[in-house]
A and B are shown apart, each in its own frame.
Chain A
Amino acid sequence: MATTPSSAQVVVIGAGITGNSLSYHLAELGWTDIVQLDKGPLPNPGGSTGHASNFIFPVDHSREIADITRDSVRQYKEMGVFTESGGIEVARTEARMEELRRRMSSARAWGIDSRMVTPEEVHELVPYLDPSVIIGGFYTPSVGVVDSVRAGTIMRERAIDKGALTVVPNAEVTGLTVENGAITGVQTTQGDITAETVVIACGVWSPKVARMAGARIPLTPAVHQMISVGPIPILAERPGEISYPIIRDMDTFCYERQTGSDMEVGSYGHRAILHEPEEIPSLDQAKLSPTEMPFTSDDFDPQLEQALELMPQILGDESAEIRYAINGLLSLTVDGVAALGETPEVKGLWSAAAVWIKEGPGTGRAVAELMTRGWSEIDISNSDIARFYEHQLTREQVRLRTDESFIKTYGIVHPSEQFLSGRDLRLPPMYAAEKELGAVFFEAAGWERPQWYASNEGLLGEYGDAVMPRENEWDSRWWSPIINAEHLAMRERAALVDLTAFCIFDITGPRAMEAVQGIIVAQADVPIGKVIYTPVLDTNAGFRSDLTVMRLAHDHYRVVTGGAHGMADKKWFADHLPPDGSAQLTDLTSAWTTVGLWGPRAVDIIGSLTDDDISKESLKFSNCREIELGNLPVLASRISYVGEFGWEFYTPVGYGAALWNRLHEAGRPHGLVPAGIGVYATTGRLEKGYRAYGPELDAERSLFEVGMERKKLKAADFVGKAAYEKQAAGPVETVLCMLTVDDHTSASGIKRYMLGGEPILAADGSALTDGHGRHPYVTTAGSAPSLGKHLLMAFLPPDQAVVGNRLSVSYMEELYPVTVATTDATSPFDPDNNRLRGRV
């Protein structure tokens, strides 16, 4: 029996695919004193890895997932545990065929070899499949299966051979010690270990272990049902584990995967069956393994019938018996994305949870890179555990959202699709007024936020075809031409925008300036009243964020950032404050609300409400000042994300409704319209060429590549400065461009509008590749109503980044001509920023 060391540089809890690859990569990156625990025996301690179906389809609509999967496959191959089988997603409905064409877009965008196949071609590859049941398929030859348990053993052994790893099986964690907000040790049934770094990589048990330290990992164990049927003669005839492509029967949410002489049928089509981590049986109690729960056949029966339809010849064979059937547990999170990184609650306590087999080794490497050097080659910030808001960390929200999303595992999910459960949580102070105006609410960081207003429907008649209506249902789902009408009204008159979902936090204290200076790229030592728009970089000079900072006093800064990434930004700032407490962070998100007022009539509207001078000469662009709107105290900030003259008004939440109502009332004679986030985040921003964190700005992009390099680099040091200076000396490998779609007409005559994610190809449809080896794809797509164009953003190879260059975009497997409009941060609309400066 292994003896438990009394101390370690890092303790990794869990010996599934994630913990194993994490231990291995920490050793590879130079850590030498790693202890890995599992409460179960090795090599299969009883978690989800042990019963996984172990197949990998490389194509995913998410770039992060596709890249992590690609890296995982590379690692599995290097370990000799990958068997290529090919895989086909088959469609029974026309809606699914459209989804498979979208899959083709993602395949082309990420450079994965895939193709659409006919039912007959599927039948040729998989002779036991009845082609009359399907209407087509999406074939990826590089699909394969892995031996994830063997991979884990290999990775542990490599780290052990290096002398870097001690593995202690059969050691259950009974407690975690936290002192002054930092982890200091782990208690186990086989002894205690002191450690300043601990990683929770124990899958479905992760929330339970995290709670021992007061940290929260919002995932739930959920059942995935699987049966194994055999022996099947046609499968037994061929040697090896797998010799036929894996079938994903997407419309029935099932898969059929050969394993030796058996066919495994798995399902994501049954009701969501959720468990609590505390209720998972112990090794002694479990019949099979703790995560192989008793099969509930009633849930699976409808799926069996559908599987039988697809493969009647082999599954209908009376001699083929259901030899194994489980309700296998896997991890689902509140938003469907993994939970990776240091927990915001406890310094030194990391999470590597909710990771699937296809992502295991890649995730292990990325998290190990973050732990050892602070940045990862593949940006995993979408999975940052610091992203969650309080409500997302409650058990109820996790239950509601996973209950709703389980059926979408193989579903057709629109890029703008909204959750319907767990809503109406954070209501902006002007909610009642918005509801009255017929606001269509989308969710942002738990806030209900108007996307557009039904009350603006009348504008459609006013603007006619200028609102660029979309004929195709998919193109117009979760969208309305009213957005474009609101945009045109804003450019013509003025618009009022609810920005309550902003994340707002203050940095205060005697060393506030130095602290902010060290975090942001722009100069922080500015006069009081200055508004700074700035990137925030990691040590590799990749984007962590872009946000605005207001200097409100000599010792007082206010940071305003987007709701989606606000919590991660807050942790980043908090982590970089001086340890002596001379600068402090205070979260004001729920204390302040923000309303934007922009447009050529904005100045007239505000004039009727205040005696304070906030003319363009008095309150200059990129400046802020406290003003009185009648008896309402307001912090006015003259910036804009939509390219119009106007302000963001900040006020304590209690005054929010009054502020909104007064502005709305005062604007009425001037034709003011309320405008939703459709205008703010898409149409207005796109016409100005503004980049957004996430789609365009991420840790894999440099300021040079996105056209945001500094004219003058400040003398003071900041995170990422050295790497930035290194980038400055190197070549630019890719260039962020804006493109216009020249012709939207599809083969069927219907005009089609791209939504983002589509590959940009040469005019003849051939692939393009940038200096990083990436293929261009649309990072953001949307209407530019003032230009009468549909605009696309994409990173192009430098030699293609030429204004006027004609290329094409592939959408639903048809090519549409596009032209490069800009190759730097110049705005397609009002390039001289006359409107922004109030010169119109």
Chain B
Amino acid sequence: MTNVLVCIKRVPDSSEAVTLTPDGRAVDGRYSGYTMSPHEECAIEIAASVAGATGGTVTVLTLGTDEAEEQLRYALSVGAKDAILIEGDPDDFGPRDVADAIAEAIRTREADGTPVDLVLVGNDAADTGDFQVGIRLAHLLGRPVCAGIKQVEVDGDVAVMTGDGPEGTEVYEVALPAVATILEGGVEPRYPSITGRMKARKAPVARVTPSGSPRGTGRVVLTVPAPPPSEVTVLGTGAAAAPAVVAMLKELGVTR
């Protein structure tokens, strides 16, 4: 019975051109809307299958304002059973602050009698890209961590974590409790069903306040790099172009 905690972050959807806020210190989500990163969507999917296979549960956690409940509810609609909202303005929290706050929440939860066997975080946040929280969290908790993981299976007290390494696929056997930072691509995250959405509306969201005060990000300003040059290739015209279109869709991995 593995209890999995998935940590997510509300971020502007950056699948199209990124717009910065007027002060240049954050990404503007006005047009794109808000989401969580694909890494985190995959983490939820992995958590749901681990919990399903072991009879455990999935809890989702975020640090953010009231608005972040939207992302928590989404996670609750695709497999999580309960949620924790650490209240705070994420712009005030650096990676160390976030790791501290999550560690505190985990310790509190465990002190209340609910063990947290496996913590999954996204490999990196889609907006700030610090790549730090997972490692710092593991250090604070004194637990093993694997980074860039794409699949996780649990066998008793051991988690089998799989990821891509420079020489090929890397497989780690890690004693639980443990932490993994998840990279997208290993699993296909589900979309919510209507009944899932209904359940998510009623699921509990615990609100906690971090005890320490954040030290901050040290971030001064964000800049958007010039878009990479795009190249237009005409695949053909009319019906004759169909095979090339199909081949391209397969190559992009959007069809099978």
The B25-46 residues at the A interface (CB cut-off 8 A) are 29-34
Q: Does B148 contact A (CB under 8 A)?
A: no
Q: Does A316 contact B (CB under 8 A)?
A: yes
CA gap between A322 and B195 in the complex, in Å: 10
Q: Does A318 contact B (CB under 8 A)?
A: yes
Question: Is there an interface contact between B17 and A308, defined as CB atoms closer than 8 Å?
Answer: no
Question: Is there an interface contact between B194 and A320, defined as CB atoms closer than 8 Å?
Answer: yes
By beta carbon, the residue of chain A nearest B74 is A297
CA gap between A472 and B29 in the complex, in Å: 52
In the bound complex, residues from chain B placing their C-beta under 8 Å from that of A229 are 193-194
Question: Is there an interface contact between B196 and A285, defined as CB atoms closer than 8 Å?
Answer: no
Question: Is there an interface contact between A304 and B198, defined as CB atoms closer than 8 Å?
Answer: yes
In the bound complex, residues from chain B placing their C-beta under 8 Å from that of A281 are 30-32
The 8 closest A-B pairs by CB, nearest first: A294-B33, A281-B31, A321-B191, A284-B17, A285-B31, A287-B32, A315-B194, A287-B16
29 A-B contacts (beta carbon < 8 Å): A281-B32, A284-B17, A285-B17, A287-B13, A287-B15, A287-B16, A287-B33, A293-B31, A294-B29, A294-B33, A298-B70, A301-B197, A301-B198, A301-B201, A304-B197, A305-B198, A307-B194, A308-B194, A308-B198, A315-B194, A316-B195, A317-B193, A319-B193, A320-B194, A321-B190, A321-B191, A321-B192, A322-B194, A323-B191
Question: Is there an interface contact between A318 and B196, defined as CB atoms closer than 8 Å?
Answer: yes
Return the CB mask of A312-343 against B: 1 if under 8 Å, else 0.
00011111111100000000000000000000
Residue in A285, A287, A305, A318 whose CB lies within 8 Å of B193: A318
In the bound complex, residues from chain A placing their C-beta under 8 Å from that of B191 are 321-323
Q: Does B73 contact A (CB under 8 A)?
A: yes
CA gap between A321 and B70 in the complex, in Å: 18
CA gap between A295 and B193 in the complex, in Å: 16
Question: Is there an interface contact between B193 and A286, defined as CB atoms closer than 8 Å?
Answer: no
Q: A319-B193, A321-B191 are in contact. Are A297 and B31 (CB under 8 A)?
A: no
In the bound complex, residues from chain B placing their C-beta under 8 Å from that of A286 are 16, 31-32
Return the CB mask of A274-289 against B: 1 if under 8 Å, else 0.
0000010100111100
CA gap between A323 and B16 in the complex, in Å: 19
Q: A305-B198, A320-B194 are in contact. List 20 more A-B contacts (CB 8 A).
A: A279-B30, A281-B30, A281-B32, A285-B19, A285-B31, A285-B32, A293-B31, A293-B33, A294-B13, A294-B31, A294-B32, A297-B74, A297-B197, A301-B201, A308-B198, A317-B193, A318-B193, A319-B193, A321-B193, A322-B193
In the bound complex, residues from chain A placing their C-beta under 8 Å from that of B197 are 297, 301, 304, 322
Question: Is there an interface contact between A318 and B195, defined as CB atoms closer than 8 Å?
Answer: yes
In the bound complex, residues from chain A placing their C-beta under 8 Å from that of B16 are 284-287
In the bound complex, residues from chain A placing their C-beta under 8 Å from that of B32 are 281, 285-287, 294
Interface size class of B (residues with CB under 8 A): 20 to 34
In the bound complex, residues from chain B placing their C-beta under 8 Å from that of A294 are 13, 29, 31-34
The B1-59 residues at the A interface (CB cut-off 8 A) are 13, 15-17, 19, 29-34
Question: Is there an interface contact between A308 and B195, defined as CB atoms closer than 8 Å?
Answer: yes
In the bound complex, residues from chain A placing their C-beta under 8 Å from that of B30 are 279, 281
The B158-214 residues at the A interface (CB cut-off 8 A) are 190-198, 201
- Distance in angstroms from A296 CB to nearest chain B CB is 8
Return the CB mask of A253-285 against B: 1 if under 8 Å, else 0.
000000000000000000000000001010011
CA gap between A340 and B191 in the complex, in Å: 42
In the bound complex, residues from chain A placing their C-beta under 8 Å from that of B13 are 287, 294
Most buried by B among A285, A307, A320: A285
CA gap between A279 and B31 in the complex, in Å: 8
In the bound complex, residues from chain B placing their C-beta under 8 Å from that of A315 are 194
In the bound complex, residues from chain A placing their C-beta under 8 Å from that of B194 are 229, 304, 307-308, 315-316, 320, 322
In the bound complex, residues from chain B placing their C-beta under 8 Å from that of A320 are 193-194
In the bound complex, residues from chain B placing their C-beta under 8 Å from that of A284 are 16-17
CA gap between A301 and B193 in the complex, in Å: 12
Most buried by B among A297, A298, A323: A297
Most buried by A among B29, B30, B74, B194: B194
The A169-206 residues at the B interface (CB cut-off 8 A) are none
By beta carbon, the residue of chain A nearest B196 is A318
CA gap between A124 and B201 in the complex, in Å: 33
CA gap between A286 and B30 in the complex, in Å: 10
Return the CB mask of A137-156 against B: 1 if under 8 Å, else 0.
00000000000000000000
In the bound complex, residues from chain A placing their C-beta under 8 Å from that of B31 are 281, 285-287, 293-294
CA gap between A431 and B124 in the complex, in Å: 66
In the bound complex, residues from chain A placing their C-beta under 8 Å from that of B73 are 297
